[in-house]
């Protein structure tokens, strides 16, 4: 098999059935049949590598997982109904009561809720460090610390964390290093090359890229995935065969889509830097980004998310959103359609104002998930909303 990204994403495919189909068919079946009693016994004893029941494995799900494993340079993986199911199941499978998580404070809103509202019920504590405190991480370690968890670039602050440094830190202190790679996709960044043990994705975002299905996936070290698999086959957060079929198709165009997303995003970010209505623009591949050098080192392009801060805070934030004509007002991201969001009143509204400010979510912060429309139309829409 070729090791080139685009070829892996397109040519990794299930064996053909006797129909010799070109495109992989959809295997909508809850279970699989056995030849006889001995086949049944041997299959359940895992003496045979085969499908038994679609809560455990399914051919379409396996094709999607196999692609993700190869694109992330991982050993094995498991797919879930949503990104949050992937995140929750990973922690639940690997942690015990009394364990401690060390996480960057800038994490997805629902991940923050897991850490602060739900895990404490099972005596699993989390300590947050800020994106600019990476060089003081030893101060946050406890003897119970088991997992180091980060997203990079972060949502929605777009801080970039040094994966090389974090990978070495996790290795030195014997931590399981987990990266939520949702904003970058394996096309832009492969955390396993920097020492990540597990990589998590919400496949709902750029992996599908067309706003159609929910999905999640975890890939990484074989023995860790084995624990996550056993936990998940008993607790039932599995991905549906239909969603896996869609997502496996989505991966065929991941490289061309993400390349174009990034080209549009850089053009929009550069344009926004010239506007007097805007206090600050943040995009990993703008020279003005505080971690521009790290972004250049570990990412192929800057991603499709651009954030900016309007002068005038909350009132100018909602006035801006109300003037948008073409772009969608939605909480999703990574779609072909450009989406404009106001994190303070939507995705991060559950955080206290203090917690929001700590991760850079000011009242005037606008997040743009730059889509694949003609860049002139995207710029014109945002520009008329700014000027009006
Ligand atoms: C959307 C998102 C998630 C959660 O994924 P769902 O598929 O919505 O459950 C997790 N992490 C990040 C960074 C996300 O953007």
- Identify the band that residue 350 occupies on the pLDDT scale cut at 50, 70 and 90: confident
How much distance in Å is there from the Cα of 206 to the middle of ligand 1? Answer: 11
User: Who wins on pLDDT, 62 or 354?
Assistant: 62
- Considering only CA atoms, which residue is closest to atom 6 of ligand 1? 83
Instruction: Specify the pairing of strand 198-202 against strand 216-220.
Output: antiparallel
CA distance 103 to 158: 16
- Identify the band that residue 90 occupies on the pLDDT scale cut at 50, 70 and 90: very high
Ligand 1 pocket test, pick from 202, 247, 333, 346 with the greatest ligand atom count within 8 Å of Cβ, gives 202
> What does the pLDDT read at residue 54?
94
As beta bridge partners, residue 281 has 308
The tokens for 8 are 């892996």
Q: At what angle do helices 375-387 and 254-272 cross, to 10 degrees?
A: 30
With contact defined as beta carbons under 8 Å apart, do 342 and 365 qualify? yes
With contact defined as beta carbons under 8 Å apart, do 135 and 285 qualify? no
Q: Kindly state the average pLDDT of the residues 10-18.
A: 91
The sign of the CA dihedral 179, 68, 187, 280 is negative
CA distance 329 to 313: 18
CA distance 122 to 141: 20
With contact defined as beta carbons under 8 Å apart, do 344 and 361 qualify? yes
Highest mean pLDDT (candidates 9-23, 30-44, 140-154): 140-154
Ligand 1 pocket test, pick from 114, 158, 160, 182 with the greatest ligand atom count within 8 Å of Cβ, gives 182
How much distance in Å is there from the Cα of 155 to the middle of ligand 1? Answer: 10
How much distance in Å is there from the Cα of 108 to the middle of ligand 1? Answer: 7
Q: What is the DSSP string of 340-385?
A: EE-GGGTTTTTS-HHHHHHTT--TTEEEEE--SS-HHHHHHHHHHH
pTM: 0.96
- Considering only CA atoms, which residue is closest to atom 12 of ligand 1? 108
- Identify the band that residue 1 occupies on the pLDDT scale cut at 50, 70 and 90: low
Domains of the chain as residue ranges with CATH: 5-251 (3.40.640.10), 255-387 (3.90.1150.10)
Q: Kindly state the average pLDDT of the residues 303-332.
A: 92
Asked whether the predicted pLDDT for residue 329 surpasses 80, the reply is: yes
Q: Kindly state the average pLDDT of the residues 1-13.
A: 89
How much distance in Å is there from the Cα of 265 to the middle of ligand 1? Answer: 20
> What does the pLDDT read at residue 178?
98
> What does the pLDDT read at residue 123?
98
Ligand 1 pocket test, pick from 80, 82, 83, 86 with the greatest ligand atom count within 8 Å of Cβ, gives 83
With contact defined as beta carbons under 8 Å apart, do 67 and 248 qualify? yes
Share of the chain above pLDDT 70, in %: 99
Share of the chain above pLDDT 90, in %: 86
The pocket around ligand 1, CB under 6 angstroms, is made up of 82-84, 108, 151, 155, 180, 182, 202, 204-205, 214, 216
CA distance 51 to 263: 42
37: CB partners within 8 A, 6+ apart: none
- Identify the band that residue 57 occupies on the pLDDT scale cut at 50, 70 and 90: very high
Angle CA 315–205–361, to nearest 5: 30
Q: Kindly state the average pLDDT of the residues 288-306.
A: 98
> What does the pLDDT read at residue 141?
98
């Amino acid at each position: 098999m070729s090791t080139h990204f685009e070829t892996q994403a397109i040519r990794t495919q299930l064996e053909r059935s006797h129909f010799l189909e070109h495109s992989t068919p959809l295997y909508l079946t809850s279970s699989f049949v056995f030849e006889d009693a001995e086949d049944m016994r041997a299959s359940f004893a895992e003496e045979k590598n085969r499908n038994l029941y679609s809560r455990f494995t399914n051919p379409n799900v396996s094709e999607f997982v196999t692609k993700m494993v190869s694109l992330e340079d991982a050993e094995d993986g498991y797919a879930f109904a949503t990104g949050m199911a992937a995140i929750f199941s990973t922690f639940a499978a690997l942690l015990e009561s009394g364990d401690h998580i060390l996480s960057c404070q800038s994490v997805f809103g629902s991940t923050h809720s897991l850490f602060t509202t739900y895990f404490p019920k099972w005596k699993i504590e989390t300590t947050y460090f800020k994106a600019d405190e990476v060089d003081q991480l030893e101060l946050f370690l406890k003897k119970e610390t088991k997992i180091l968890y980060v997203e990079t670039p972060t949502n929605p602050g777009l801080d970039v964390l040094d994966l090389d440094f974090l990978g070495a830190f996790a290795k030195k202190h014997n931590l399981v290093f987990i990266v939520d790679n949702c904003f970058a996709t394996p096309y832009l960044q492969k955390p396993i090359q920097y020492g990540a043990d597990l990589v998590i994705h919400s496949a709902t975002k750029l992996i599908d890229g067309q706003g159609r299905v929910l999905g999640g996936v975890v890939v990484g070290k074989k023995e860790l995935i084995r624990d996550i698999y056993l936990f998940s086959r008993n607790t039932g957060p599995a991905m549906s065969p239909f969603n896996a079929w869609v997502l496996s198709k989505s991966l065929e165009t991941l490289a061309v889509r993400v390349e174009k997303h990034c080209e549009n995003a850089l053009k929009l970010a550069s344009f926004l830097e010239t506007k007097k209505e805007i206090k600050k623009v943040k995009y990993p591949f703008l020279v003005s980004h505080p971690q521009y050098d790290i972004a250049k080192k570990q990412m192929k392009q800057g991603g499709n998310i651009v954030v900016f801060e309007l002068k005038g805070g909350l009132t100018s934030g909602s006035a801006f959103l109300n003037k948008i004509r073409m772009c969608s007002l939605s909480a999703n991201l990574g779609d072909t359609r450009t989406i404009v969001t106001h994190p303070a009143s939507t995705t991060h509204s559950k955080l206290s104002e203090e917690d929001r400010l700590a991760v850079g979510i000011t009242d005037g912060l606008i997040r743009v998930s730059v889509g694949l429309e003609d860049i002139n139309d995207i710029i014109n829409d945002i520009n008329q909303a700014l000027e009006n």
